[in-house]
Amino acid sequence: QLHLQESGSGLVKPSQTLSLTCAVSGDSVSGGSYSWTWIRQPSGRGLEWIGHISHSGTTRYTPSLKSRVTISADRAKNQFSLNLTSVTAADTAVYYCARVVVLGSLMYFDHWGQGTLVTVSS
């Protein structure tokens, strides 16, 4: 059974770097045919796709965050990570990791982690 679990700092100071990790069990971040993604949701608002990393290590990012985002994978630990630099209060949100089904332009998120709240505040 697939399980994703986010971890990382829940409080980040403005201008610093937000770092989160998603531990995956029940599938391989590098051995299968899926991609792995980060999605965020500010309190009381909708969902925003941040980016994803494929099983082969190829990354895609949403243009509005591309200059500040890095998604990477650790095959040995079977986990993937999110780094978001120069954060502001606008980056405060619940961050979800999820598995992505990607086949050309077919793209959807079939399994999600429980989410972790990250607050940007001094």
Task: Return the number of the residue (3 or 75) whose C-beta is nearest another protein.
Answer: 3
Which chain residues interact with another protein by CB under 8 A?
Answer: 37, 39, 46-49, 51-52, 60-63, 96, 101, 105-115
Task: Return the number of the residue (15 or 64) whose C-beta is nearest another protein.
Answer: 64
Task: For the CB of residue 105, give the shortest distance to another protein in the complex, in Å.
Answer: 5
**Cα-to-chain-centroid distance, residue 35:** 11
Helix boundaries (H) for the chain: none
Strand partners, 37: 52, 98
Task: For the CB of residue 13, give the shortest distance to another protein in the complex, in Å.
Answer: 27
Task: For the CB of residue 20, give the shortest distance to another protein in the complex, in Å.
Answer: 14
- What one-character DSSP code corresponds to residue 105? T
Task: For the CB of residue 3, give the shortest distance to another protein in the complex, in Å.
Answer: 12
E strands, the chain, where?
3-8, 11-12, 18-25, 35-41, 48-54, 59-61, 69-74, 79-84, 93-103, 106-112, 116-120
Task: Return the number of the residue (52 or 55) whose C-beta is nearest another protein.
Answer: 52
